[in-house]
Chains A and B, each alone.
Chain A
Amino acid sequence: MTAATDTSTKTDMSAKKARRFKPDRDVEEWHGGYLPYDLVKEFIIAFLVVAVLVVGLAVIFSSPDETPVTVKSWSTSDPVDFAQTAITELDGTSGTATYGPPYNATTGASQSIGPFSPESWLGVHHPINTANDYVIDPLKTLPNQPGVAAAVAEYNGASSEQQAAWTAAYEKAVANATAKNGVLQVPKGDYGPVGTMIGALTSMARSGALDGALLSSRQFYGTDYTKPLLFIADGAYLANLAQNQHLSGDQWGMMNETGNYPGQAWLWLYTLWYQVPPMNSSSSGDLQVWAIMMVLTLLLALVPFIPGLRSIPRWSRVYRLIWRQHYRDLAGASPT
């Protein structure tokens, strides 16, 4: 038996350069038998098998399609959570307001591993000013609402200290808010025009007008839902629904799907890292998980080039199972 070796450099037929045969890199040329093989027939049969299997699975299990959450459905189902979220958008303490790049330039919000912080290097690319984009600008679109317009003007005309005092007072009050027949009831407090503003925004949201206002700042045909999605995600309502659907991060949410569907099971390793320390509690956990996954993916792609790693198949001897018939034939043909 001769050997066909891996000669990545160009071979000079006249050169008598010997290279050591490495079993995890080289192969011996096959001089054994061959059997008839119809590639096209094999593909046709495989395609038909897969098609029948897929039709069967689709008929039996269908596919999930949970109704999306809108700002209207959120503010109607849970107006208190909506108002509590809206005030954090106005005073700049919400998740989105303090996120950092690519939405805003919040200092120290970028994730990093030592000096490595690509998030901050690339900066703000989808700017969001939560006070203006989620509260003030939508309220300005309300027609025939002189009381709301006056409240917005009063708020905008006040000093930042006064604004902070009003929003802090409202935040304290709305923590004890209730919803009576779906209508927001906020305890009285010294929150100036903010009560009128958040009340009007809640009414606007319940009417469905805020869904449109968050998109219409761009153009007629909107396909970018970044602003409404981040607003909804700042509240607890979406997360509670996800929790009920076993989709939270601590429930291996990224690989799950609504209902009892397999979801993106191939993300199991990515999701696994979010369950273990320090990634599950680190403020840079996402970057750490991505760094790990990038290194592991690179290792997988480069297995053939990495001594030791590329020997695992030979050491494991799993190949004896795969080629058991071949080794049986060899043993049968052996003179011993």
Chain B
Amino acid sequence: MTIDTDAPTKVAADLPQDAGQLSAKLRHAAVEALPPERLMPDRQPTYVASWIYVFGVLTVSALAVVILTGVVLAIFGPAWWHVSPTGHFVNSLHLWSVEVFFFAMVIHLWGKFFMAAWRGRRRATWVTGVVAFVVSVGTAFTGYLSQQNFDSQWISTQAKDGINSTGAGAIFNVTNFGQMLMWHIVLLPLAVGLIVGGHVLLVRRRGVVPPFAPPGDAPPDVKAVPVADLTPKGDDR
């Protein structure tokens, strides 16, 4: 048996008759949007030199710990951590990783705000970041409701008034433990994962926002440059 080292070429032949294929179109669009060198860069601009940049990757790292510890809690079931010292320790890891996650995320958010990180076609990056924060708040909230202890009893009986006032209480019943647990371990983590994943891909696609021009520098608009000429070759649309 021989190994066909040309296999990757053969499985993506890119023949003209395949141009209409949805798979081919999707591959082209994906590679065009995120070429490998942009997805996994080995260089970054020199202005990326501040501790504030660390908080983005710290947020993702904390999310990874949150998910890992949540998976362990899910494996053993919701009652485990109340009766097992090991389970209680895993619950503590889960709790503190959530605290670190939000701490890093909030600093990341305000850091990006003061960089005006939405500039240069990065508005979707900003919006997905804010949505990720809001959905994360909901995920943490349902986690507090799923604790099965006094804290979750009190939080659910208090929070119901706010949720009910919006009408959402009709379908989102915070005093229904089973429903809140499902939202906490299935629906909302899935949403957070997808949104954060999309956010990170957008960051990779657009790159890190450049600094503001120093005060006094002439802005490019003084020449009223045509839009087409302003877009540098090879830059994304």
- From 60 to 84 in chain B, residues with beta carbon under 8 angstroms from any chain A beta carbon are 60-62, 64-65, 81-82
Chain B: minimal CB distance from A250 (Å): 12
In angstroms, Cα B120 to Cα A8, docked, is 10
Task: Assess whether A16 is in contact with B226, with CB atoms less than 8 Å apart.
Answer: yes
Task: Assess whether A28 is in contact with B177, with CB atoms less than 8 Å apart.
Answer: no
Task: Assess whether B57 is in contact with A42, with CB atoms less than 8 Å apart.
Answer: yes
Task: Assess whether B119 is in contact with A24, with CB atoms less than 8 Å apart.
Answer: yes
Task: Assess whether B46 is in contact with A122, with CB atoms less than 8 Å apart.
Answer: no
Q: Which interface class (under 10, 10 to 19, 20 to 34, 35 or more) fits B?
A: 35 or more
Task: Assess whether B179 is in contact with A224, with CB atoms less than 8 Å apart.
Answer: yes
Does A137 sit within 8 A of B, measured CB to CB?
A: no
The interface stretch among A159-167, A190-198, A204-212, A282-290 is A282-290
In angstroms, Cα B171 to Cα A289, docked, is 20
The interface stretch among A139-147, A181-189, A312-320 is A312-320
Instruction: From known contacts A258-B150, A290-B162, A319-B212, infer whether A304 and B97 are also in contact, taking CB-CB under 8 Å.
Output: no
Instruction: From known contacts A28-B213, A224-B178, infer whether A5 and B126 are also in contact, taking CB-CB under 8 Å.
Output: no
- From 93 to 144 in chain A, residues with beta carbon under 8 angstroms from any chain B beta carbon are 101-102, 111, 118-119, 121-123, 125-126
Contact indicator per residue, chain B 158-176, by CB within 8 Å of chain A (1) or not (0): 1101101111011101011
Complex: chain A residue closest to B137, CB-CB: A266
Does A177 sit within 8 A of B, measured CB to CB?
A: no
Partner of B157, one of A43, A126, A230, A301: A230
Task: Assess whether A4 is in contact with B61, with CB atoms less than 8 Å apart.
Answer: no
Does B42 sit within 8 A of A, measured CB to CB?
A: yes
Max chain B C-beta neighbours (<10 A), residue from A2, A10, A241, A265: A2
Contacting residues, chain B, for A301 (C-beta < 8 A): 126-127, 130-131, 134
The interface stretch among A79-87, A148-156, A168-176, A325-333 is A325-333
Task: Assess whether A102 is in contact with B121, with CB atoms less than 8 Å apart.
Answer: no
Chain B interface mostly: helix
Partner of B173, one of A40, A226, A241, A323: A226
Contact indicator per residue, chain B 98-136, by CB within 8 Å of chain A (1) or not (0): 011010001000010111101111110011001100100
Partner of A27, one of B119, B156, B178: B119
Instruction: From known contacts A66-B150, A69-B150, A290-B162, infer whether A47 and B64 are also in contact, taking CB-CB under 8 Å.
Output: yes
Task: Assess whether B227 is in contact with A7, with CB atoms less than 8 Å apart.
Answer: yes
Instruction: From known contacts A54-B100, A122-B167, infer whether A304 and B61 are also in contact, taking CB-CB under 8 Å.
Output: no
Does B26 sit within 8 A of A, measured CB to CB?
A: no
Does A3 sit within 8 A of B, measured CB to CB?
A: yes
Contacting residues, chain B, for A1 (C-beta < 8 A): 220
- From 1 to 59 in chain A, residues with beta carbon under 8 angstroms from any chain B beta carbon are 1-8, 10-30, 32-40, 42-43, 46-47, 49-51, 53-55, 57-58
Contacting residues, chain A, for B158 (C-beta < 8 A): 247, 249, 253-254
Does A232 sit within 8 A of B, measured CB to CB?
A: yes
In angstroms, Cα B166 to Cα A290, docked, is 7
Contacting residues, chain A, for B20 (C-beta < 8 A): none
Contacting residues, chain A, for B88 (C-beta < 8 A): 62-63, 65
- From 39 to 73 in chain B, residues with beta carbon under 8 angstroms from any chain A beta carbon are 40-50, 52, 54, 57-58, 60-62, 64-65
- Supplied contacts A5-B230, A43-B57, 6 more A-B pairs, CB within 8 Å: A17-B226, A37-B48, A102-B173, A230-B157, A247-B158, A257-B144
Q: What are 29 A-B pairs at a CB distance below 8 A? A: A3-B230, A4-B231, A4-B232, A6-B121, A15-B227, A17-B226, A25-B119, A27-B210, A30-B45, A30-B47, A36-B42, A37-B48, A50-B58, A66-B150, A68-B152, A119-B169, A125-B170, A223-B179, A224-B175, A224-B176, A233-B157, A245-B150, A247-B154, A254-B159, A265-B102, A266-B106, A290-B166, A303-B126, A327-B214
